[in-house]
Each structure stands twice: as C-alpha cells, then as structure tokens.
Structure 1
Amino acid sequence: MPSDVPPQPPRPTSRRRLPVLLAAVLVLVLAVVGLVVVRPGPVERWLADDPAAPSAAPPEPSPVAVLAGTDIGAPMPATDGLRTVLDPLIADTALGGRVHVSVTDALTGQQLFERGGGTGTVPASVTKLLTAVTVLTARGPGYRIPTTAVAGAQPGEVVLVGGGDPTLAAGDKGFYPGAASLKDLAEQVRTALGGTAPTRVVVDSSLYSGPRLEPGWDDDIPTGGYGAQMTALMLDGARKDPKASQGWAERVSQPDLTAGRAFARLLGVPEGEVRSGTAPAPPAGSTETTEATEAPGATGAPVGATGPGAQLGVVQSPPLIRLVDIMISDSDNIIGEALARQVALARGRPASFTGAASAMTEVLSELGLPTEGLALADGSGLSRRNLISPTLLTETLALAASPDRPELGGIFGGLPVGGWSGTLRDRYGSVPGTAAGAGTVRAKTGTLTGVHAIAGVVTTAEGRPLTFAVLTDRVPADGMEPARGALDRIAAALATCGCR
C-alpha cells in the first residue's frame, strides 16, 4: 500500500542561495569531489598524504567514464512532471506501507518533489551522510585522531590512552589503509623510556562513556559481524582478523583490552600485566604540547616532561576526510560510531551514543538544515530508534554540493556509483527499469530488516544534478530484493527525467 501522505506543493528551501551566480562554481565543486570522476580508486590513492612513488609497472589503460557530467544550463524538472513519473513507482507494493520521498535541485537547493518528505523515517545506513557532514563541520577534514602512550604511576608502567581511532593497527599493515600503528608507538615508548624496561600496560579507554552497545540495535548486531562493542581504543575496527574481507567480520568482545595486549607484546610485557585503568594527570612543565586532542592523558601533556602522566609517544589516524570516505564507501558502522563521537568531543559533549546524537543534531541545526522529525540514537544507522526525514537528507546533500561549505564536498568521494562500486556495484541493470541509473546514480544505501533506503545524487538525461532520498521502513521481512529493485527504479526514473 502506498504512503498515506498526500502530495504537497514544493516547500521553500531553508537556506538562501545565489543559484545563477554560483552555479558554475557548484559544477566545479562537484567535479572536484567526484561526481564526474572517471572511475573510483583506492582510498590511499585518492587521499594519499604524499604523491605516489614512481612505479616500474606498466601504466593502466585510459579509464572509461562511469558518471554522467552535469550541465548548469540544463532545465530543472517540474513538480508536476516529477509527480507523473514518480507517483506510480512510489505506489509499488514492494516498498511496503510507508514510503517517504524528497527530490531537490542540487544547483539551487529548491525542493522539487516530496511525498512525506518532512516525516521522520527509520533511515538505516543513510544516517552516515549526517555523520559525515557533522564531523567535517565540527572537526574539519584534516583532523587526525590520536592514540597516546604516557608514563604510569609506577616505574615501567605505560598507559595506552585511546583517543577514539577505530582504524588503529597493531603492526605495519592493518585492515584500514594508512592506519596508525601500535608498532610505531611502541618504538617511541622505548626511546622515551631509555634504559627503563616496561613492566606493565594500563589500558585507558575512559574517553568513551555510557553503554558500549546502543539499546536500539537488533539483538544479533553485537555478534552478527556488522557491529561491535564501542570503546575508545580498538584495533582494525574491533575485527578479530585484520585480514578479514569487507563487510561481515567476527569482532572481539573486549576491543580495548585486546589492543592493550597487542601493545604489551610489542613492548615485551607479559599479557598478564595488562589491566584497565586511567592515565595520571599530565605533569606541569614545558608549554610545548602535542596536537590538541580530547584524549585523557594527552591534552596538554608536555613534550619532554618526566614523571607520571608524561607523554611517551603519540600516533595519529588518517585525516577525517579519509575516514569519512571509508565510512561511506564501505558503510563501515564502527567508523560511523567513532566519527559521531568526534562530533560530541568537538562540542564538549560526552563521547557516548547520547552525547554524539545531541551534538550532531546541534550541528545540523546550526547549518540551517531542517531538523523537524529528526531523532538520532547513533551515528551508524544500526539503531531502529533513528528517525530522519528525506527532506533533511536532500537538503544536506545540496548543502554539501554547494560552494557555501566546500569542506563538506568530501562526502561525495565515497558514494557508491550505480552499476559500478560499493553497495550499488550489482544494482542498476539486472532489475527491469533500473538500467538508466548505471553511472548516473551516486548514493548511500541503508538496509535493516524491514527498512530500505537510498539517498544521493543523480544527473538527469539533460544534465541537471538532483539530490534525492527515498526511505521506507515497513517492508515485509522477506521483501529485501523486491524493495531494492523498487528503490532503484525510482532513482533510475530521475536519471531519464525531463519531467516537464
């Protein structure tokens, strides 16, 4: 049964824009962040800190374009035309009894079509789009999350202080490209201690507070391979095996202590000498400090100071823009939760599920985005207590694509491409009525049992970029494939649209 929310006239955008003067700049922004990239590449090549070293390998062949280009002079679809095209597709019974939709012109931010657009709906993983925008706003694209080692209260005692980096690796190569390494940190500690041998490792993961699992998560998430206990210290997203493939992976039950034991082995400390605790307060001394961080035992810790709390070493995560890219492209739930907590820390809130949700809502409101119907419980979208409106998603995407906030454009780099990459690799082509979306739809998907969503950017047949969101949260439990096909037909219809 289709949604019982009747069609409404287009609502005015919640932000003022300069559509004509800024349109050319917008297309440049979209090109830079990847809406006209020729093909996706590994994160480490997109966002490497240094230019790639010369290689003796033969050059790759010229890539083939997989995304349609935009045309700032292309006409904008009309609301009546969109209604004619979309209403029958929204009525598809495969989408269940509650389907909410919003379509916005990416160049002007004007909403062109909505059906229950302002209604909070369970979003699943499209929540990560809000996590990305809020963390890039609150922290900035270049921020790095530290993991610190400080001197403990007793001689030879080393405190490993978690700063919330979910990508930290034990050795030279972990699950995530370019991750910081405990091996490097252990070398710094040995140098700082000089002739003093480490005798004990204290694990300080006190930066995170509150429950380690969100109450709205399904019962099987902690053991189902897509979620984990959220702690401020972990290795490889809490994966038991850093060589695990993308997606499902067995997770450790105590991520912080597992990391502490790995650090102890690197320092030559018996695993029996690993315990939980907190770092001593940093000593007074030199005013030279490490990069600012909210991690206890690291903020203001003087370089070169001695005694309990003195910094022995620090390693940094990849920049947030790279973590955002991985979160979106791989739909990484653990990174999503970690980045949400960075929003909380930046805003002086507890690094907890509730603190993160409150801080994210605050940032979205300050950005001038419509938060009516918004209720956040986590940053990954695993919680069924999340409610997000399609209009909030389309306006968020339009803001990120505009020249007003260039730091937000990074959210597009990881968006899967229809028929090409990520969660859309095998979609747009195999189901009737979806082929037009291949190479023209770039979107984040969301899936929980009974919940299916998609939100992103699509280029019309005439070259007009649109932002769109379709959320449905009452699909029969066995209806995943039909629901996905119905969602894809809606996005593909926008790709073929003149709709005037």
Structure 2
Amino acid sequence: MPTHEDEPAWPSDDSDTPETAEGADGATDEPAADAEQDSGATAHLPLPEVSLPEQPTLWVERPKEQAEPQESAEPQEPKAEAPNPEAPRAEESKPEAPKAAPPKQEQPESDQERTAFLPAIQLPPRAQQRPTQQQGPQQRPQQQGGPQQSGQQPGGQRQNPQQGGPQQGGPQPQQRGPQQQNGRQRWPQETSAQVTAPQQLQPQPQPQPQQRPAPPPRPIPPAGLQHAQPMRIEPSGEVRPAESAQPDEPTPPPPPEQPVKRKRRGLLIGAVALVVVIVVGVALALPPVSNRLGLPWAPNFPKADTPEPAAVTLALQPPSSSAPTPTNSGVAAELAGPAANPALGTLAGIVIDPATGSTLWNHNSSQLLTPASATKLLTTSAALLKLDHGLQIPTKVVQGSSPDTAIIVAGGDVTLSALPDGQQSVLPGAAHLDDLVAQVKQASGGSIKKVQIDVSLFSGPLTAPGWAPDDAPSTYAAPIVPGMLDAGRPNPTVDEVLRSADPAGTLLQTFAQRLGATASGHATAPQGAKVLGEVRSAPLTELVDNLLQISDNTLAEAVGRQTAIASGAPATFAGVAQTTLNTLAQNGFDVSGVALNDGSGLSTLNKVPPRLLAQLLTVAAAPDNKDPRTAKLRPLLEGLPVAGGSGTLADRYGDANSSAGKGWVRAKTGTLSGVNTLAGVVLDKDGRVLVFAMMSNGSDIVAARPALDALAAALRGCGCG
C-alpha cells in the first residue's frame, strides 16, 4: 500500500478506523465502537484528526509513520459567518503532527461512514463553468503564529459550522442537525460523500477490481460554511455525483403496446372506406345516376306530390269483329254519287270485306288499267313473300389487284347516305358512307391510293320500257345501278330533288375523296378478295315502308332486283317484272292478263286490274292469321300513307267532299299523266275495315285526285248495314 507522507489530512465524518480522539481538554474519547460496516472507497484511508480554522468537523488522524502535511497556501476566506470565538481549540497549531492514539484493530466500516458528509466548499470559477464536474479539494490552510480554533464547544461537543441552505449550483441533500453519539456530537451521515478531483476526469467504465486501489494524494479542501454536494468516490478513483437517497417508488407498468400490424390494418381499412364513401358520394351526385335512381337531389326528382293520372280516352279503336257487316246495296248507295263524277274518266274499282272476303262493291274490277305507282304494291308484295323480312342489303369494299387499291362492291343498297353519322336522310335507317370509309382506313392502315367500283350486280338498261326520256334523272327517279348515295339525291334531306345522272360515279368520287385516294373508274372485284369494310341497309320491312310512304321509284326498283336475284332471275327490269308475277302467282294470286315492265310503276306499259290490288290488301288486312300469307304481307299496311297525315297523302283530303276520310283512309297512290290510282283500307263508322282499289285512266290529275279522295271518304261514312 502506498504511503501518504505527502498527503495532507483529509477531513471526514467517517469512522474509517477505530481511533481515540483527543478532546479539547486532553481527554481521550471512547473508541468508535459503533462504527458502521461499509465497503466504500475510503475504507483504506487512515487519516489523522486535524483541527481546522473553520467550523468544526470531524477529521481522521493520519498514521504516525506518515510525514507531516505540508503547509498549505493562503487560506481562503469563508463566505459564511465567522466561527464561534468562545469555542475552545482542540490543540495548538504546531509544525509537527498531532498525537494519535495507538491504532486499534480496524472494525469493518459501514456505507454511511465511508460516505459521510463533508463540509461544502466554494467552487472556483472553472468548476462553476462545468456544473457536471467539481474541482478537486484544496489544501487545508493552517494559521501561523497562533492557536487554531476548533469547531468544538466546551464539553467536547462540536458546533455546526453553518446552518444555511445547500450550496447553489447542484442538488444538495437535506440538512439535518447534529446527533449525539458516544459522548461526542456528530453530523448526520449520508449514504454518499464526494470530493471532486482538481483535474477534469473523463468517464471511465466501472471495473470490478479484486483489490481496492489507493486513491492519489489529494489536497485538503478548506472548510466551508455550506455542505458540499455529495460526491461518490468509486474504487477505481472515479468521482461522480452521488445519487440522492430517495425511497424507491414503484415503477408504473408500461402501457400495453398495441400490435403495429393491427393498427396499420385499421388505418388501411379506414382509408379504403373513406375512398369508397367519397367515390360513391361523387357517383350519386351525378345527374344521370341520381335521376336514374330517383334520389331526392336528382334534377328530375318531383318537387311536388305526384299528380293523379289523367283520364285517357282512346280516339282510335281497333276494328270490331262484331260490327255489322255492310251490305252490297248499302255500299253501292254510298258510292253511287262519288263514282259518277266525270272527272274520274274511266273508272274501275272494287270494295271487299277482309273479314269475310266478300266483295261489297264491284265496278269493272277486272279491267286492265295503268296502275302508275300502285305497281309498287305488287313489287313489295312479291319481295315480302319471297325474301326474309330482316334482309339487309350490303355494300362492301375489298382489296383490289394491289394492296394500295380498293374496290367498292355495290350490293344494290341505293339508300347509302352521304350524311355524317347521327344525321337522318329522307330514308330513315340508312347506312352511312363515313362508317365505310373509317373501316377501310383502319383495315388498310391508310395505304389505299386508288379506288374503283364494281356495279356488275345489276345488268341491262338503266331505264325501263315505257319510261319517258326525262324520267331518269328527274326529281322522282335516277338511273338504276346497284350503288349510289341517297337514291341519287344530291341533298339527302329533300325528297323531290333532281337526282344524279351517274349515281355510281358520284358514289365513287365521294368515297375516294373522303378516303384520300384517287377514283379510278369501274372494275370487277376478284373472287375471295380481302374485305376491308362493309355496311348494310335497313331491314327489308323498313325499306318497304319507306318506298311506299314517299313512293320512291329508285328504291322500289332496287327491292325488285333483290327478289329477282333471290329467284335466280337477272337483276334487270324484265327480270324484276317476271319474278314479281311469278312470285304472286305461286302464292295464289290471280295475275292473269297482268303486264309489268318495271317495279316502280313509272312505265306506262304496265297493266293491272283493280281486283289484283284489292286481293293483295285483303290478305294483308285479314283479321286473323289463318292465312299464312297474312303475316308476310302485313307490312304493306304499315307503309300505306295516311289521308291528310303522311307520305303522298299528307296534303290531301282537305276539301269538304273528302275531309270525312281524313285520318281514316290509308292508301297507296299512283299518278301519271292521265292516270290516278288509290288502293288501300278504310275504317267505316261502324268500326268495320273495308279494302278498296280505285283506278282512273284518261282523267286530269288536278280534277281526278279530289274525286278519288271523295270516293274513298264516302266509304268512311258508310253504315251500309
């Protein structure tokens, strides 16, 4: 163990070693038999008891073999109040060390004695700059030339050097008063005491030494008037603030940790739910959705109570099967006056009850007369009997002899419209050329540079026998070819407009221009050529309805050619005429003596009796479907113009003689120079359907038309029972 000859006496309140302290009167105190056991860092420091000029404290005597402590430097003036002058000095300050009692056997030291409280010292400025580190103790000053006053009072008791509070700059333990122990006054012991080193100490790990190393020599700190901050001297020599002795408080249990995954899952579910709510809210706020669902905020939602439905009285009633049957005499009486009108010229006509098939009025019904546009009843009847009612006429574009060539294959659809998509021509339901152009562009990738047209489907002359030279082109007809735009009309929205003289050429030029290619005339499409695009017309029933309503001659000829092609006949005027008669004959209609030269009725050479026209309408107007032909011919009735309401009868039945039939007469008209025909159905005042066919030849158009209208209107007022 190193010697402590150069080390001054350390003040301590510990009882590190059993000793006999000499009081002021020279008496020897009892050995510190109550020394507590301790394993502190000061257990190996036998320090002598030395009197200090400051307030009294307990000093440990240094062993005799140690050298006397060197004189300390000038003592620092204590900042606290002066010590009590009446307190007797423990001993004179002498150059030699004071006598020490003979050493006794060391008792085990307690923790309290090792860490007894030391008097507080005034920290130098350097220590104040570093509050976490304390300066080391200074050497204890000794007064020269006079006796030292001890802090001990008469009676062997020591006086507390200061009753003030703890020193500023750090936490201080609570002060307690002196206690009497073994005949001498001792200060309360704390669980730790600390004297800081003069040099700055770095934190060091705390080893677990087997033996306690001796601390380096430290100067004696001057006695202060305040208690120093408790410091702990570790066995390794490290000095650090002592932990304040506070009762252990129970550590509250940590809050239970929520599973992170569950928390994240909850956040994710919440976010998804919020997004769904927002999306649904936005969707429900849209007018189309809110209107369809009938939500309260919908624009179409009723703002008031729903009104009571108004009573509806049907103005049009279906034909009654129990209506009284007209008699021949009754009908003849009704028609006698109107039929005698000389404006009618040569008149032939017939009235039939379709419910019974009986003839009610017959006036030269077998006489062959020119029917004019009433011929369309024969053409459309043959088509309805022969063709599928859903037939749609195609127009194709195929690849030509080279990849940059396209050929329009005209399939006979003369209704193909030049109007943009969404706009309607006078022929409703027509396909649009723009659609065909778009298909070709997409299929070819825009590589088409040349366009040709194949019109080989139709053959023969472009006009029929019996047509006047100015019939085609005209405002009511065009040369008949299998490919054209809007039935040859330059303005698709106007019915009676001068048609194109070369409707196929017009189609070719328009298509090439919209495709960005060059029109290169006529060609025949190769067999099995690649199809670049295709569009189709409206179904057959709609085509029949259109051509009957406005009496479109060009469309009638095109439909007649579809019947001829389906029958294996050539697609010519003669082929259409022959196919029409053959088809009607095959379906039980009497076509004896009938002569046809076209399908539209423009030919003045056509000869048809009124009986045949009435027979076709009677089958179409039958009250039941017992006759299988009725279902096929029923579309004829839908296409018949309404008197004073639609088609070619829209501007008729306005005078006093014919107004009774307005809205009740539905009939196909036929007009040529000197020819007027009216064939259709009428509902009499008893609710009975009557079929009629009236033909007038050799009459003036202006005078014959109202005369025929008055004749049909008379049937409307017929009670005829």
TM-score bucket of the superposed structures, by smaller chain: 0.7 to 0.9
Amino acid aligned to 2:719: G
Q: 2:388 aligns with which of 115, 133, 140?
A: 140
Residues 388 and 62 of structure 1: is their aligned pair in 2 closer, same or farther, counting only changes over 3 Å?
A: farther
Q: 1:276 aligns with which of 517, 522, 525?
A: 522
- Mapped to 2, the partners of 1:387 and 1:257 lie a distance apart of 34
- Mapped to 1, the partners of 2:646 and 2:348 lie a distance apart of 26
Kept in 1, the 8 Å contact 2:473–2:500? The answer is no
Kept in 1, the 8 Å contact 2:428–2:546? The answer is no
Partner of 1:152: 400
Partner of 2:155: none
1:241 correspondence with 2:483 = no
Deviation, 1:67, is 5.2
Alignment of 1:465-484 (within 5 A): 465-475=689-699, 479-484=700-705
Deviation, 1:83, is 2.4
Partner of 1:319: 539
Residues 89 and 377 of structure 1: is their aligned pair in 2 closer, same or farther, counting only changes over 3 Å?
A: same
1:193 correspondence with 2:441 = no
Amino acid aligned to 2:572: S
Compare CA radii of gyration and give the structure with the larger one: 2
- What stretches of structure 2 of length at least 5 have no aligned partner? 1-291, 293-298, 301-309
Deviation, 1:68, is 5.7
- Specify the SS of the correspondent of 2:666: strand
The root-mean-square deviation of aligned C-alpha atoms, in Å, is 2.2
Partner of 2:715: 494
Deviation, 1:189, is 1.8
> TM-score, structure 1 length as denominator?
0.77
Deviation, 1:257, is 1.2
- Mapped to 1, the partners of 2:332 and 2:352 lie a distance apart of 13
- Specify the SS of the correspondent of 1:413: helix
Amino acid aligned to 2:658: T
Amino acid aligned to 1:449: S
- What stretches of structure 1 of length at least 5 have no aligned partner? 1-53, 283-308
* Deviations, residues 102-133 of structure 1 (Å, cap 9, x unaligned): 11112122222211111221011111122221
- Mapped to 2, the partners of 1:420 and 1:83 lie a distance apart of 28
- Mapped to 1, the partners of 2:324 and 2:647 lie a distance apart of 30
Residues 174 and 214 of structure 1: is their aligned pair in 2 closer, same or farther, counting only changes over 3 Å?
A: farther
Q: 2:338 aligns with which of 49, 68, 89?
A: 89
Q: 2:686 aligns with which of 446, 462, 478?
A: 462
Kept in 2, the 8 Å contact 1:241–1:250? The answer is no
Alignment of 1:189-268 (within 5 A): 189-194=440-445, 197-243=447-493, 245-246=494-495, 248-268=496-516
Alignment of 1:84-483 (within 5 A): 84-96=333-345, 98-170=346-418, 171-172=420-421, 173=423, 175=425, 176-194=427-445, 197-243=447-493, 245-246=494-495, 248-270=496-518, 273-282=519-528, 309-402=529-622, 403=625, 404=627, 405-430=630-655, 432-475=656-699, 479-483=700-704
* Deviations, residues 261-288 of structure 1 (Å, cap 9, x unaligned): 1111122102xx3211111111xxxxxx
Task: Count residues with an aligned counterpart.
Answer: 408
Deviation, 1:227, is 0.9
- Specify the SS of the correspondent of 1:126: helix
* Deviations, residues 467-493 of structure 1 (Å, cap 9, x unaligned): 100001211xxx222211111111111
- Mapped to 2, the partners of 1:94 and 1:256 lie a distance apart of 42
- Mapped to 1, the partners of 2:452 and 2:692 lie a distance apart of 48
Deviation, 1:216, is 0.7
* Deviations, residues 234-268 of structure 1 (Å, cap 9, x unaligned): 0011012223x22x211111111110111111221
Amino acid aligned to 2:398: V
- Mapped to 1, the partners of 2:352 and 2:371 lie a distance apart of 18
Indicate the structure whose relative CO is greater, using CA pairs within 8 Å and at least 6 residues apart. Answer: 1
Kept in 2, the 8 Å contact 1:147–1:162? The answer is yes
- Specify the SS of the correspondent of 1:224: coil
Amino acid aligned to 1:494: L
The structure whose residues are more often helix, as a share, is 1
Amino acid aligned to 2:388: G
* Deviations, residues 29-79 of structure 1 (Å, cap 9, x unaligned): xxxxxxxxxxxxxxxxxxxxxxxxx9x99xxx9999675641111122222
> TM-score, structure 2 length as denominator?
0.54
* Deviations, residues 440-492 of structure 1 (Å, cap 9, x unaligned): 111111111100010000111111101100001211xxx22221111111111
